[in-house]
Amino acid sequence: MITLGHFLALSAVLFAIGLFGVITRRNLIAVLMSVEILLNAAAIAFAATAAYKDPVFFSGQLFALFIMVVAAAELSIGFAILLNVFRHTGSAATDVVEEMRG
Amino acid sequence: MITLTIVLLLALGGLGVALAAPLLKRGSGVLAGVTMAIFALAMILAVAGFNERALIFGSLEASPLTALAVLLLSAAGFFVAWGNLARGEELWGGPGEFFAFLLWGALGGVLLVGSTNLLLFFLGLELSAYATYVLAAYDRDRKESAEGAMKYLVLGALSSAILLYGFALVYAGTGSMEFAAIRAAFLKGAPALALLGALLALVGLGFKLALVPFHAWVPDAYQGARPVAAAYLASAPKIAVGLGLAALFVRAFGPPDAVTQSLLVLALFSFVFGNLWALAQTNLKRLLAYSTIAHMGYLALGLAIGGTFGYAAAGFYLLAYLIAGGAAFFALEAAEAAGVPSTIEGWKGLFKRAPGLSVLAAIAFLSLAGVPGLAGFLAKLYVFAASAKVGLFAVLVVAVLTTVLGYYYYFRVLQAAFLEAPKEEGRLSVNPSLLALLFVLAGLSILFGVWPAGAFSGLEQAFRVLIGL
Amino acid sequence: MVSLLIFVPFLAALVIALFEEEDAAFAKRFALGVSGVLTLIALGLYFRYPGEGFAYAEKLPWMPFLGASYHVALDGIALPFVVLTALLTVVSVLASWRKKDRAFFALLLLLEGALTGVFAALDLLLFFVFFEIVLVPMYFVIAVWGYEERRYAAMKFLLYSLVGSVLMLAAILGTAYYASAELGKFTFDYLELQKAVPSLASLPVAAWLFWGFAIAFLIKLPSFPVHTWLPHAHTQAPTAGSIFLAGVLLKMGGYGLIRFNLGLFPTEMKRFAAVLGVLAVISIVYGAYVTLAQRDLKRLIANSSVNHMGYVLLGIASMTAIGLHGAVYQMVAHGVITGLMFLMVGLLSERTHTREIGAMRGIYASMPLLGGIFWLALLGGLGLPGLAGFLGEFQSLWGAYLAETTRWMVWLALIGLLTLVGAMLWTVQRVLLGEKEKDYPDLDPIELAAAAPLVVLAVLLGLVPALLTPWIDGGIQPLLAFIRGLL
C-alpha cells in the first residue's frame, strides 16, 4: 500500500538532494539544476497530497502545474544572468561569484 | 473593484511599457514618466479604496492591508523610476523592461499581501522576486552587477524553494491551501507536519528579508547593483515580504509560539550582527547593505511581537526605511554619477564639493541612525515601545544598545563628508532630478518624523482589520 | 510661552540656514537679537513665577496611540536653568563674534531650543527626544570648530551620551509599561506617572528602572566613573561649545536625577543613596586631584567640573531639603561661574595661542580686565563665600551631614574641597600673578559684554541668595512633600 507518507518521503529525499546540490556544486548550471530539483520536490509533495487528502478540489495538482511555470520562468532569468556572468568571466564556476568581498 | 483596477493597471501598464519601449528613442524620459504616473495613479486609487473589503476571484482580498501594500510599493516604484530618470539613456538594451519589471514587481507584492491562499502568495512572491533579479542584473556592462545578481538569484531561488516546500508540508498537514482553513487547523492544535512547514516558510521569508543567518547575499547584491537598483532591492521586496509575513502569520498560521519565537531569535541576531558587521565596512554600499540587515532585524522584532501595535510599528518601520534607505542609495547614485566613488575615502570633503547633496544625504543617514525629529527615530521608538508593551525587556535593552553602533558608523560617513578635506577641489555638478528626489525624500523623513499620527493611524487601521477577522 | 522659548530658536536657526551670506554678519546679529529677546522673556517668566509647583503649562496631543503628549511646564527647579540657557546663548554668541560661519550660530540656536525643551518637558518621551536632539548640534560644534583632537572628542562625547540615553529610553518604556498596570493605560506623562509611584516602588524591577535613568544622568553630570568623556569634550570644544557644555549640558544630569530618579523612584533613591554618595565623594576628591595635576588650562577647568558636580550628586544623595537645595544652587552657580571661566580661558588662549599653564605668566599685569575677571571666576570656582559657588557647596555638604547615610562622606569631601581650593589658587598664582611676559590686548567691548552678565550673576547669586532660593524651594518643596508621603 503506497501511502501519502511514501510520496512525502520521496519529496523529502529529493529536497535534500537539491539542497545538497545548491550548496556544494561548483558549476553554476548544476546549481540551477539543483534549484529545479528543489522545486520539483515540492511539486511532488503538492500533487501527492492533493491525490490523497484533497480529492474534491485537487488544488495541489494545480499548484504543481504552476510550479512548473514558475520554475521555467525563474530558470530562464537565471540562465540569462548566467550568460552575462559567462560573458564577463569566461567561466560558469561558482568561485567567480565569491570574488566580491568587502 | 478599485483593487482590481489597481491590479489591472499594474499588469497592463507593465505590458504597455515593455511593448512601447522599442518605439521610443533611446534616452527619452517618457517611459520613466509614464511609470511614475501609473504608480501615482495606483497610490491615489489605493487611498480612495482604502476601506474597500471584497474578495476578487476568490483569491485576492481587497482590504486596508492590501491598499497599504499598494501605497508603499507604488511609492517605492515611483521613487526608483524617478531616480532612474536621470540615467535612463545609459541603460543598455532600452529601459523598457526595467520599468515593466518595476510595475510587475509591485504587482507581485500586491498579490502576495492580498492573497488568501498558498498559491497566490507563492506566485506573488515569485513575481516580486523576478523583478528584483532582473533589476539587480540590469547593469549588463559591469561584472559586479552580473556576479551580485547571480548570487542573489541562486539564494533567492533557494529561499523560494524552501518556502515552497514549507507550503507543501503545510498543505500536507492541513489538507487545504486556503488560509482560513489552515488557520482553523492551526488553532485546533498545529499538526506537526504543518508546523514544520510553517517554520520552513519562515526560513524562506527570512532569506528574502535578509535576516541573519540568511543574509549572505545582501552585501554582494547591493554592491554589484547600480545604486538605483539597490534602492529598489532594499525597499520593495522588503515591503512585500514584511507585510506578506504579517498577513501570512495572521491569516494562515495563528501564529503558533514556535514560529514567533523563531522570528524573534532571527530578529535579535540580525540587529546585533548586522550593526556589528557594518562597523567594519568602508565601502558605502556594503555598509548600507549590512545596516539594512540590522534594520530588517528591528522590523522583524515588530513582526514577531505582533498585535495591532506591533504590526503597525513594523509597518511604520518599513515606511521610514523606504524613505531614508532609498534616499541613501539615491545619494550614492548621485555621487557616483558625479564621479565620487562610494567609499568613506571617496566621500571625504563632499560637503565642500556638493553641499546640497551632502546635507540631503546627511538627513537620510541621520534618519537611519535614529535621530529624533526624523522618521527613523520614531520607527525605532515604536518598535521599542511595542517590545515594552509586551514585556520583552531583555531584548529591548539589547536592541537600544545596538542603535549606538548605528550612530557610530553613520556618523563616520558624515564625519568624512563634512569634516575632512576633499582629495580634489572643485564643485561637482549633481544631477538636478536626483537632487529634487533627495529633497522630496528628506522632506518626507522630516514630515513623518514630526507628524507621524496620520501614517500611524492608517497603519493601525490596516492591521486592526487584518487581525479582526 | 514656554513653547516660544523652545521653538523660536529652531526657526531662527532655519532662517540663518536659508539666508545666504559669506561671513556671518547677519547670522550673528540675528542670533544675538533672538537670544537676547528670549532671555528677556525667560526672565519675565522667572519673575512671574507663582512661587510653587508647575506653572506655564502647555499640553497638546502628540502621539495619542502611544500615550505621549506634548506637555511642557516650568517649576522652580527648571526656571533657573531655562534662564541660564538663554543667557548663556547670548554670551556664547558674543564670545564667537569673530567667527565667520553662519552654521555655527545656527547650531548654537538649535542647542538653545533643544536644551530649553529638556528642562521644560513633562512627558518622558518628549524629554528623551529633546535630550537626544541636544547631542547632534553639540557633536558638530565640537567636531567642526574644535581643536586638535576634536573628532575623537566629539565622537566620544556622542557615543558615551548615547549609551546613557538609550538605556534611559529602555527605562522610560519600562516605567510606562509597569505603570500601565496601575494606571490602566500606557502613558508617558510625568504627572500621571507620579500617581503610580507607590505601586512601582514595590516591584523588584524598580531598581533596574532607577539605574536605567541614573546611568544616563550620571554620564551627563558627569560622575566618576563615567566622566572620562568630559575632559576631552570640554578641552577640544570651541569656546562657545565649552560654555554650553559646562554651563548647561551638565545640568541635564543633575536635573534629571532630581526630576526623574527622585521624583519617580524615591524608595530606590533612598536605597541607593549611599552608592550615589560614594560616587559623589570620589568625584569630588578625585576630580580635585586630577585638577591639581593639569598642565592644560582648559583641561584643568574641565576637570574642576567633575569636582563641582560631585557636590550636586552628594546633595541629591542626602535626600534632605537643604541638600537638594544646595544641589540645584550649585548647578546654577556652576553654570555661571564655569561658563565665565571657559569664556575667559577661550579669550585668553586666543591671545596667547596656547593652553599650557607653564607658558602663561603675569596675565593680570598685562591685561587687568581679562585677568581680573578670570581671577574672580577662579575664586568663584573654589567656592569663596560672597560668590555664587559657596552657597551651593556649603548647602550640599550641610545636607549631606544632616543625613545619616551620607554623614561620613562629608569629611572626605572636605579633603576634595581643600585640594580644589589649592588647585585654583595655584592656578591664580601661576597664570595671573607675577611679572608680565608680553603685552596682550585687553578685552574689547564685545568680549566685555559677553562676560559682564556672568560676572554680575556670580556676585549677585553669592550675596543675594534671595534671587534664587525661593524659586528652588518652590520647586523642591512639593517634591519633598510627595516623597515624605511615600517613605
Give tens-digit pLDDT for C22-71. 788 888 899 999 999 999 999 999 999 988 888 889 999 888 888 889 99
Where in the sequence is the domain holding A24, given as residue range(s)?
4-95
Measured CA to CA, the distance from residue B360 to residue A12 in angstroms comes to 52
Helices (H) and strands (E) in chain C, counts: 22, 2
What confidence category does residue B243 fall into, taking pLDDT thresholds of 50, 70 and 90? Answer: very high
**Domain for residue B224, yes or no?**
no
What confidence category does residue B49 fall into, taking pLDDT thresholds of 50, 70 and 90? Answer: confident
CATH number of the domain residue A11 falls in: 1.10.287.3510
DSSP code per residue over C119-180: HHB-BHHHHHHHHHHHHHHHHHHHHHH--TTHHHHHHHHHHHHHHHHHHHHHHHHHHHHHHH
* Residue B2 Cα, gap to closest chain A Cα (Å): 27
How many residues make up chain C in this entry?
A: 487
* Contact of chains C and A by CB distance (3 or more pairs under 8 angstroms): no
pLDDT of B381 over the 90 cut = yes
Considering only A44-53, B29-38, C152-161, which range has the smallest mean pLDDT?
B29-38
In chain B, how many domains are there? 1
**Domain for residue A54, yes or no?**
yes
Measured CA to CA, the distance from residue C117 to residue C10 in angstroms comes to 11
Task: Give the model confidence (pLDDT) of B436-454 as tens digits.
Answer: 889 999 999 999 988 888 8
Task: Give the model confidence (pLDDT) of A87-101 as tens digits.
Answer: 888 877 776 555 443
**Domain for residue B52, yes or no?**
no
**Domain for residue C73, yes or no?**
no
Query: What pLDDT does residue C233 have?
Result: 93
**Domain for residue C321, yes or no?**
yes
**Domain for residue B334, yes or no?**
yes
User: Nine-digit cell at C382?
Assistant: 573654589
Measured CA to CA, the distance from residue C54 to residue C126 in angstroms comes to 17
Report chain C's mean pLDDT, rounded to a whole number: 91
Query: What pLDDT does residue A101 have?
Result: 39
pLDDT of C472 over the 50 cut = yes
What confidence category does residue C406 fall into, taking pLDDT thresholds of 50, 70 and 90? Answer: confident
Contact assignment for B133 to A82 by CB distance below 8 Å: no
Query: What pLDDT does residue C332 have?
Result: 95
Query: What pLDDT does residue C44 have?
Result: 93
* Residue C165 Cα, gap to closest chain B Cα (Å): 9
Query: What pLDDT does residue B123 have?
Result: 94
**Domain for residue A102, yes or no?**
no
- Average pLDDT of B381-389? 92
pLDDT of C136 over the 60 cut = yes
- Average pLDDT of A49-72? 89
CA distance to A67, B196, C381, C428, per residue, from C451 (Å): 79, 73, 16, 18
What chain B residue is nearest to A19 in terms of C-alpha separation? B158
B160 touches chain A (CB under 8 A): yes
* Residue C204 φ then ψ, to 5°: -65, -25
Where in the sequence is the domain holding B343, given as residue range(s)?
256-469
pLDDT of B165 over the 90 cut = yes
C185 touches chain B (CB under 8 A): no
**Domain for residue C159, yes or no?**
no
**Domain for residue C438, yes or no?**
yes
Query: What pLDDT does residue B95 have?
Result: 65
Query: What pLDDT does residue B94 have?
Result: 57
Considering only B140-149, B297-306, C59-68, C207-216, which range has the smallest mean pLDDT?
B140-149
Q: Which of C414, C417, C343 is nearest to C376 (CA)?
A: C343
* DSSP annotation of C434: S
A24 touches chain B (CB under 8 A): no
Question: pTM higher than 0.95, yes or no?
Answer: no
Task: Find out whether the peptide bond into B213 is cis, omega within 30 degrees of 0.
Answer: yes
**Domain for residue A9, yes or no?**
yes
CA distance to A33, B43, B52, B150, C162, per residue, from A29 (Å): 6, 41, 46, 11, 50
Q: Could you identify the residue written with the cell 498579490?
A: B111
Measured CA to CA, the distance from residue B463 to residue B459 in angstroms comes to 6
Burial class (CB in 10 A: 0-12, 13-18, 19+), B390: middle
Measured CA to CA, the distance from residue C172 to residue C66 in angstroms comes to 13
How many residues make up chain A in this entry?
A: 102
What confidence category does residue B25 fall into, taking pLDDT thresholds of 50, 70 and 90? Answer: low
What confidence category does residue B112 fall into, taking pLDDT thresholds of 50, 70 and 90? Answer: very high
Residues of A in contact with B119 (CB under 8 A): 59, 62-63, 66
* Residue C174 Cα, gap to closest chain B Cα (Å): 6
C391 touches chain B (CB under 8 A): no
Residues of B in contact with A19 (CB under 8 A): 158
Where in the sequence is the domain holding C336, given as residue range(s)?
265-487
Considering only A28-37, B410-419, B425-434, which range has the smallest mean pLDDT?
B425-434
Task: Give the model confidence (pLDDT) of B129-163 as tens digits.
Answer: 999 998 888 877 777 788 888 888 998 999 999 99
Measured CA to CA, the distance from residue C319 to residue B137 in angstroms comes to 67
Residues of B in contact with C173 (CB under 8 A): 384-385, 387-388, 396
In chain C, how many domains are there? 1
* Residue B419 Cα, gap to closest chain C Cα (Å): 6
Beta bridge partners of A93: A27
Query: What pLDDT does residue C299 have?
Result: 92
User: How does strand C55-63 pair with strand C68-74?
Assistant: antiparallel
* Contact of chains B and C by CB distance (3 or more pairs under 8 angstroms): yes
**Domain for residue B33, yes or no?**
no
**Domain for residue C282, yes or no?**
yes
With H, G, I as helix, E, B as strand and everything else as coil, classify residue C74: strand
> Could you give the percent of chain B with pLDDT greater than 70?
97
- The answer for C314, left when phi > 0, alpha when psi is -120 to 50, beta otherwise, is alpha
Q: CB-based contacts of C229: which residues, under 8 Å, 6+ apart?
A: C153, C156, C157, C160, C161, C219, C222
Residues in C 13-72 with any Cβ partner in B closer than 8 A: 63-66
In chain A, how many domains are there? 1
**Domain for residue B55, yes or no?**
no
Check: CB of residue B128 under 8 Å from CB of residue B112.
yes
User: Nine-digit cell at B148?
Assistant: 551580485
Secondary structure percentages of chain A, helix, strand, coil, to 5: 80, 0, 15
- Average pLDDT of C365-385? 91
- Average pLDDT of B76-95? 70
**Domain for residue A101, yes or no?**
no
Nearest to C173 among B384, B403, B404 (CB): B384
Task: Give the model confidence (pLDDT) of C328-339 as tens digits.
Answer: 999 999 999 999
What confidence category does residue B126 fall into, taking pLDDT thresholds of 50, 70 and 90? Answer: very high
Considering Cα of C76, then C82, then C84, then C90, what sign does the dihedral take?
Answer: negative
Task: Give the model confidence (pLDDT) of C146-172 as tens digits.
Answer: 988 898 999 999 999 999 999 999 999
